[in-house]
Amino acid sequence: MNTNLQTPIDYLKGVGPNRADLLRTELGIHTYQDLINLFPNRYLDRTQYYKINQLQRNNADVQVIGKITEFKEVAQQQGKRLVATFQDETGVMELVWFRGQKWIRESIKLNTPYVIFGKTNWFNGRFSMPHPEMELLQEHEKNLRSAMQPVYPSTEKLSNKGITNRVISKIMQQLFLETNGRFKETLSENILSELKLISKSEALFNVHFPKNQELLARAQYRLKFEEFFYIQLQLILKNLIHKSKIKGFPFEKVGTYFNTFFNDHLPFELTNAQKRVLKEIRADLGSNAQMNRLLQGDVGSGKTIVALMSMLIALDNGFQACLMAPTEILSVQHYNGLVELCNKLNIRIKLLTGSTKTSERKKIHESLENGELDILIGTHALLENKVKFKNLGLAIIDEQHRFGVEQRSRLWKKNTSPPHVLIMTATPIPRTLAMSVYGDLDISIIDELPPGRKSIKTVHRYDKNRLNVFKFIRDEITKGRQIYIVYPLIQESETMDYKDLMDGYESISRDFPLPDYQISIVHGKMKPADKDYEMQRFIKGETNIMVATTVIEVGVNVPNASVMIIESAERFGLSQLHQLRGRVGRGAEQSYCILMTGHKLSNDSKTRLETMVRTSDGFEIAEVDLRLRGPGDIMGTQQSGILNLKIADIIKDKDILQNARFYAKKILNNDPTLSLSENKTILNTYQELGKFKNIWNYIS
Ligand code: ADP
Ligand code: MG
């Protein structure tokens, strides 16, 4: 192979400077390599040739062989159209052009066999085909082209400037001519034979010029596998390098704190999932490498106790630990919960938030530095420079997506050596996505709820049923329960949304009047102190109803609240609905979630509502969410490369992804530095991908 694939696209015959510019700006094609990696969006099946008397009125794309016998111009309201009479041995049809008529008349030969291709219309008792693709039969037969015709990505500008799909096919052909269709193999012999994959050259040929459906499928499989494989290889390598470079503090033992708690003070039996996850964390903490683990568990799955027990291991090894939460309310809740769980353990725990008094703050700083303090819980306040630990061994971050990566690294810098890090999130990320986005973190999943939890009954009600809903609320309050009513608050329509919230609050106040009913209201425009006061009233059970925007979304735990009413539910995303629903169902009582909407609903809204009613499995909901929104909107994907996939699709091809990850892992387990000769091709390809970032820009 002697053509360098890094050759600028300008040098390809038939491209030239103008086309090269367009290819660069419109499709990001700079080199030969980029052109090869321009994969068709779809294929038109041109294995069939139709006779004119076989045409159906189904508006499908068809190809027909025949001759033009004459042209005529037909005047119409604006300008004129060019109509050609086209016939084969079975009948006559018309070809029609509204633009480019001069060129057609000059270049198309009469009474010469052509293959035409396009959509047919039924018009004036005849079939007609507007702007057909045309090719001389003679050319058609000898061209390097396949029956399955590729359709390449395009833009309006490209087609306006004459770079049609056909032109792209042509220059693709040229590229295969210049390179002899020979491309360097990029996967190892072992993988090729184990998975029975076709070679790189064969795959590229058949993806651009498929000979038949079967070869096309094999070509696509091979290229998708390769794409996923190198992403996974990179993610897993990053993780390995991280582990070998960054020494953690090995927590060698499980000591008195952990054991005493486990044997004497555990308030309930751990679920199997909690036990499994603790084992995974324990193994990380005991190794020489720094832990970097993501703990995923649906709301209410019991992540807190796992966090506590992990911190106890740190304490047993003479280290401090901290737990950071995104809001003051959550920090306080964690603090109270942990103090209660640990009250027999003689552990020193403190809370540090924005509202901690200066004198108290000073004391905390001191005791943290001299090691008198064991566990610090708090908000972003933990990240301030003044907060210095004597020896921070484990940092736990709750509800990770509220914190940026940058903030995480500030926690790291609090030590000579970074502490072990455990990130907890209740936003389940579909496994396939997690593999691609967080592939460099280790992942633990709590996929089981504590026993005896009653599932939350979820229903969808229309606004006109509001009176019934209010009656239901009244009954629940009579039973001693508390109610959440949540309104959407979207930045773009903030003013309107506040009005809705306030109107709602007023009408609820009328239907649930003082002194029989007490109502709290919480929204983002309130002062933090007022917000907190209202939240506390609800938490303490002094109010019956909490009217709020989504500020209550994260983590708040009021076990006595048993009804979650979500207003304009169609305006919320699925994961947000699921988070909100997770605020109820935390006590022993049957809980309910009522999704209120108007009558007009889009298809996506309907799917979201139906999904909520059907299931409470966070992972299933996350999968639907991923399908509806695509990966682009899901937290954390923006920076990752999965949006730049060239041929694979993270949703449709998740089996291939799993397979690719499996092989990447297997190879690296056996040969972490890729130095075995059998992995030479993989190493070379990997290095090359890194060098030409513009080609495979998902390699970060
Ligand atoms: P989350 O994962 O949402 O943070 P929490 O840790 O707050 O969940 O736990 C939710 C509730 O379930 C808490 O009241 C907690 O005490 C309880 N819980 C946790 N684990 C168990 C268990 N194994 N058995 C019974 N109750 C549990
Ligand atoms: Mg929690």
Q: What is the pLDDT of residues 385-440, one digit of tens each?
A: 889 999 999 999 987 655 555 566 666 666 667 889 898 988 777 777 777 666 66
Q: Are 69 and 121 in contact (CB under 8 A)?
A: no
End-to-end CA distance of the chain: 29
Q: Are 367 and 341 in contact (CB under 8 A)?
A: no
What whole-number distance in Å separates Cα of residue 520 and Cα of residue 543? 6
Closest by alpha carbon to 449, among 602, 334, 618, 322?
A: 618
Residue ID of nearest Cα to ligand 1 atom 27: 450
* Fold match between domain 47-144 and domain 457-615: no
- Cβ of 300 below 6 Å from ligand 1: yes
User: In one letter, which amino acid is 103?
Assistant: W
Query: 568 CA to middle of ligand 2, Å?
Result: 26
What whole-number distance in Å separates Cα of residue 257 and Cα of residue 267? 15
Q: Is 129 helix (H, G, I), strand (E, B) or coil?
A: strand
- Cβ neighbours of residue 356 closer than 8 Å, sequence gap 6 or more: 364, 378, 381
- Cβ neighbours of residue 595 closer than 8 Å, sequence gap 6 or more: 458, 459, 460, 461, 566, 569, 577, 609, 612, 613
- Burial class, 340, CB count within 10 angstroms (exposed 0-12 / middle 13-18 / buried 19+): exposed
Q: Which pLDDT score, from 0 to 100, does residue 476 have?
A: 96
Strands 292-297 and 482-486, bridge-based pairing: unpaired
Angle (nearest 5°) at CA 623 between 563 and 451: 50
| Sequence spans of domains, the chain | 47-144, 256-286+302-425, 457-615
Q: Which pLDDT score, from 0 to 100, does residue 413 have?
A: 63
And the tokens for 409? Answer: 């690294």
How far is Cα of residue 472 from the mean position of the Cα atoms in its chain? 38
pLDDT tens string 573-590: 898 899 899 889 888 889
- Cβ of 325 below 6 Å from ligand 1: no
- Selecting from 3.40.1110.10, 2.40.50.140, 2.30.40.10, 2.40.10.340, what CATH number does the domain 47-144 have? 2.40.50.140
The yes/no answer on whether domain 256-286+302-425 falls in CATH 1.10.540.10 is: no
Q: Are 436 and 640 in contact (CB under 8 A)?
A: yes
And the tokens for 127? Answer: 């079939």
What whole-number distance in Å separates Cα of residue 155 and Cα of residue 38? 13
And the tokens for 313? Answer: 């291991």
And the tokens for 243? Answer: 């582990």
- Cβ of 303 below 6 Å from ligand 1: yes
Q: Which pLDDT score, from 0 to 100, does residue 12 have?
A: 94
Residue ID of nearest Cα to ligand 1 atom 5: 302
**Ligand 1 pocket: which of 261, 266, 305, 424 to mutate (most atoms within 8 A of CB):** 305
- Cβ of 49 below 6 Å from ligand 1: no
Query: 582 CA to middle of ligand 1, Å?
Result: 12
How far is Cα of residue 238 from the mean position of the Cα atoms in its chain? 20
How far is Cα of residue 657 from the mean position of the Cα atoms in its chain? 14
Q: Which residues of the chain have pLDDT under 70?
A: 1-2, 58-60, 143-147, 400-416, 436-440, 490-492, 551-555, 631-643, 692-700
- Cβ of 453 below 6 Å from ligand 1: no
Q: Is 657 helix (H, G, I), strand (E, B) or coil?
A: helix
Residue with tokens 């809001």: 327
What whole-number distance in Å separates Cα of residue 158 and Cα of residue 23? 8
Nearest atom of ligand 1 to the alpha carbon of 559: 14
- Burial string for 371-384 (b: 16+ CB within 10 Å, else e) reads eebbbbbbbbbbbe
What whole-number distance in Å separates Cα of residue 474 and Cα of residue 490? 29
Q: Are 158 and 22 in contact (CB under 8 A)?
A: yes
And the tokens for 257? Answer: 């704190």
- The reply to whether omega before 513 is within 30° of 0 (cis) is no
**Ligand 1 pocket: which of 261, 268, 586 to mutate (most atoms within 8 A of CB):** 268
Query: 423 CA to middle of ligand 2, Å?
Result: 11
Nearest atom of ligand 1 to the alpha carbon of 270: 23
- Cβ of 270 below 6 Å from ligand 1: yes
What whole-number distance in Å separates Cα of residue 475 and Cα of residue 472? 5
- Cβ of 683 below 6 Å from ligand 1: no
**If you classify domain 457-615 with CATH, what class do you get?**
alpha beta
Closest by alpha carbon to 185, among 692, 688, 697, 694?
A: 688
Helices (H), 302-357: 303-316, 328-341
Q: Are 398 and 424 in contact (CB under 8 A)?
A: yes
What whole-number distance in Å separates Cα of residue 390 and Cα of residue 415? 8
Residue ID of nearest Cα to ligand 1 atom 10: 300
Residue ID of nearest Cα to ligand 1 atom 23: 270
Closest by alpha carbon to 237, among 671, 693, 684, 678?
A: 671
Query: 399 CA to middle of ligand 2, Å?
Result: 8
Strands 420-425 and 292-297, bridge-based pairing: parallel
Q: Which pLDDT score, from 0 to 100, does residue 700 have?
A: 32
What whole-number distance in Å separates Cα of residue 308 and Cα of residue 293? 15
Strands 148-151 and 42-45, bridge-based pairing: antiparallel
Residue ID of nearest Cα to ligand 1 atom 4: 303
Give, in order, the Cα–Cα distances in Å from 675 to each of 660, 668, 678, 680.
20, 10, 8, 7
What whole-number distance in Å separates Cα of residue 477 and Cα of residue 199? 68
Question: What is the longest distance spanned by two Cα atoms in the chain?
Answer: 99
3-state secondary structure 373-441: CCEEEECHHHHCCCCCCCCEEEEEEECHHHCCHHHHHHHHCCCCCCCEEEEEECCCCCHHHHHHHCCCC
**Ligand 1 pocket: which of 265, 276, 299, 301 to mutate (most atoms within 8 A of CB):** 301
Query: 575 CA to middle of ligand 1, Å?
Result: 20
Q: Are 116 and 63 in contact (CB under 8 A)?
A: yes
Q: Are 621 and 615 in contact (CB under 8 A)?
A: yes
User: In one letter, which amino acid is 467?
Assistant: L
What whole-number distance in Å separates Cα of residue 222 and Cα of residue 217? 9
Query: 555 CA to middle of ligand 2, Å?
Result: 5
Q: Are 638 and 697 in contact (CB under 8 A)?
A: no
Residue ID of nearest Cα to ligand 1 atom 22: 450
Give, in order, the Cα–Cα distances in Å from 397 to each of 334, 391, 693.
12, 17, 33
